[in-house]
Amino acid sequence: MAEKNWYKNAVVYQLYPKSFYDSNGDGIGDIRGIIQKLDYIQSLGVTVIWLCPVYCSPMKDNGYDISDYYRIDPSFGNNDDLDELIELSRARGIGVVMDMVVNHCSDQHEWFQKAIADPEGPFADYFYIRKGQQSGPPNNWRCWFGGSAWEPIENTPYYYLHVFTKQQPDLNWENPKLREEIFRIMNFWLDKGVVGFRLDAITDLKKLPGLPSLPPDGEDGLAAVNRWTENVPGIGAFLSEMKERTYGRVNAMTVGEAGGVKAGELMDYISLDDGYFSMIFDFSISRVNVGFYWCDVLDWNTETLKQRLQQTVKQNGSLGWMGIVLENHDQPRCIDHFLPESGRNFYGASLLALMQLMRRGTPFVYQGQEIGMRNVAWADIQEYDDVSSHSQYQEAKRRGFSDAQAMAFIHSMSRDNSRTPFQWSSALSAGFTTGKPWLKANEQYAQINVEKQEQDQRSLLNWYRKLIKLRTSSPWTEVLIDGSEEYVYQEIPNLLAYVRELNGQKLFILCNFQDREQVLALGTFQTILADNYGRACLTDGQKITLRPYEAVLLA
């Protein structure tokens, strides 16, 4: 795997295999489906694909509960299919990144089955298994999806710990035997030729020593998950060892889903010299509108986005590197998330694309983002598959919100918003499957789909292609990869503007985040490289009048 830091030039396409393309009509997307769509993926110009988990799993959390790390789940195909995908992708210059979920496994994993069969035996130490107290669980820790983080082991005085659902027991990284098992798994996939990993919930690996109860922070008497597991001191030793024993050997690309990393620790994680990872995701603007509970609605506007992006840039300095995201399988669709009603159209969507794809860092485009897929709004909570939607709904009801209000929170934040079938065409079920899709397609598929946008030179899809190409193979590639990122015109409301600069070469990115015009002085920038209104040159000399949601790239 070539050059150090090769991932800086990558553009990543995130695949949620279950919803991408179904090759055998069972309603579930699969690896052969991805293989059949490689032409499309390549046409985007991306150089890496990240597959959300495809390992054997009872799918209580859609594959983030792994029961066999060495085998592909039959619903997705088999190991040979994956080998073929790796090979065919490589031939097209596209690397495959696997999702690695090593904070927890499935309760169906043989380690866990052995552990609960003998809670004092050797496998118990692969997990956090403790005796309960008279009054209940070993301590007062709350899990991510609400309620106690401890689950009783039937017919025993023991409990086990889980950060996420109770079907996802946490692995005990303090146990060297467990760590060896994990390193073996990671090396197995590296030897198969994957170019890297996305590391799930990676800052949860370490728990507060002694597993103490903490002062409660809610009426339930429990203590929030980030207080006892997110980035607990001492985690660095685990991460360094993992790097050294696995991906560090082969210069693979790694991206951490790393909540809770503080500014002072950031360089340990993402320094281009020797971070634990190649990068972590920049989630600074994700979920800008809600707190931990979706019913805790927060006030925000374009100024909030500007401030947070600038803050990230400042913290990264010249050595920090991040994964730049607008969407993923846990977030709502970006058009609905970041734009007011008046901008939920081609202009707003293409503006967000420019804002994202010109930034310093490795961009991640999530499947369907490139065609402007939108949120769904199903009437009944029972139609939702996502586990967190159900716990969030319960919380809203518990706080006294009406059903309609509770459903409005689900509509805006549910993880199913981004998990509906990919919209290939206007054929039944969006052309995703000939069978019954595991999750309903968004009913807008007749208007929003690949087939339609392929025929339109000025579609969002072609806009994404153009920007990706500018980034990976144009005279501007170098400045887009290595240039600094500086926010300018900060005092102008609803304008997000930044300059990329390297060795005197400069690019100017302008995003008019409003449904009104805005006049701006341009200084030395005179050449238009991309404009979502299709304008090719400046007619106003030193000035530009930006139209509603206009986005322009200038040199």
Residues tagged active-site = 200, 257
CB 396 within 8 A of CB 402: no
In the complex, the smallest distance separating the C-beta of residue 111 from ligand GLC, rounded to whole angstroms, is 17
204 binds ligand GLC (CB under 6 A): no
Label each residue of 431-453 as H, E or C: HCCCCCCCCCCCHHHHCCCHHHH
Rounded distance between C-alpha atoms, residue 214 and residue 224, angstroms: 9
**Cβ proximity of 416 and 376 under 8 Å:** yes
How far apart are CB 62 and ligand GLC at their closest, in Å? Answer: 7
Tokens of 104: 């927890």
Measured distance CA(28)–CA(75) in Å, rounded: 7
Closest C-alpha among 316, 193, 312, 171 to residue 242: 171
Provide DSSP, 279-325: EEEE-TTTTTTB-SSTTSB----HHHHHHHHHHHHHHHTTTB-EEEE
CA angle 160, 256, 22 (to 5 degrees): 85
98 touches ligand GLC (CB under 6 A)? no
61 binds ligand GLC (CB under 6 A): yes
Assess 200 for contact with ligand GLC (CB under 6 A). yes
* Total residues at interface with ligand GLC (CB under 6 A): 9
Amino acid letter for position 524 = T
- Smallest gap, in angstroms, from Cβ of residue 102 to ligand GLC? 10
Can residue 201 be called a binding residue for ligand GLC (CB under 6 A)?
yes
161 binds ligand GLC (CB under 6 A): no
Closest to ligand GLC by CB, 32 or 329:
329
- Residue 257 binds to ligand GLC (criterion: CB under 6 A): yes
The string of DSSP codes covering 91-109 is: HTT-EEEEEE--SB--TTS
The secondary element (H helix, E strand) that includes residue 365 is: strand 362-366
Q: Which of 31, 94, 101, 496 binds ligand GLC (CB under 6 A)?
A: 101
Pick 128 or 549: Cβ nearer ligand GLC: 128
- Nearest distance in Å: CB 354, ligand GLC: 26
Instruction: Please state the closest distance from residue 329 (CB atom) to ligand GLC, in A.
Output: 6
Nearest to ligand GLC of 67, 350 (CB atom):
67
Secondary structure class of 506 (helix, strand, coil): strand
Across the beta sheet with 484-488, the strand order is 484-488, 495-502, 505-512, 551-554, 528-531
In angstroms, the CA 507 to CA 500 distance is 5
By CB under 6 A, name the one of 111, 128, 158, 164 that touches ligand GLC. 164
Distance CA 76, CA 80 (A): 11
Q: How far is the CB of 397 from ligand GLC (least distance, A)?
A: 22
Distance CA 318, CA 325 (A): 19
Examine residue 386 and tell whether it contacts ligand GLC (CB under 6 A). Answer: no
Q: Is 54 one of the binding residues for ligand GLC (CB under 6 A)?
A: no
Q: Which of residues 311-350 bind ligand GLC (CB under 6 A)?
A: 329-330
Least gap, CB of 173 to ligand GLC (angstroms) = 15
Residue 313, classified by CB atoms within 10 Å of its CB into exposed (0-12), middle (13-18) or buried (19+), is buried
* Interstrand relation of 322-325 and 253-256 (parallel, antiparallel or unpaired): unpaired
Using the rule CB under 6 A, which residue among 7, 64, 247, 281 binds ligand GLC? 64
Structure tokens at 157: 């005085």
Which residues, numbered 426-455, are part of the site for ligand GLC (CB under 6 A)? none
Length of the chain: 555
Our finding on whether 151 is near ligand GLC (CB under 6 A) is no
Give burial (CB, 10 Å; 0-12/13-18/19+) of 153: middle
Which residues lie across from 133 on neighbouring strands? 136
Q: Give the per-residue contact string, 451-490, with ligand GLC (x = CB under 6 A; - = no).
A: ----------------------------------------
Smallest separation (angstroms) from ligand GLC to the CB of 459: 29
**What is the C-alpha separation between 257 and 316, in angstroms, rounded?**
17
| H-run or E-run covering 363 | strand 362-366
Q: Which is nearer to ligand GLC, 159 or 366 (CB)?
A: 366
CB of 415 to ligand GLC, least distance (A): 7
Footprint of ligand GLC (CB under 6 A): 61, 64, 101, 164, 200-201, 257, 329-330
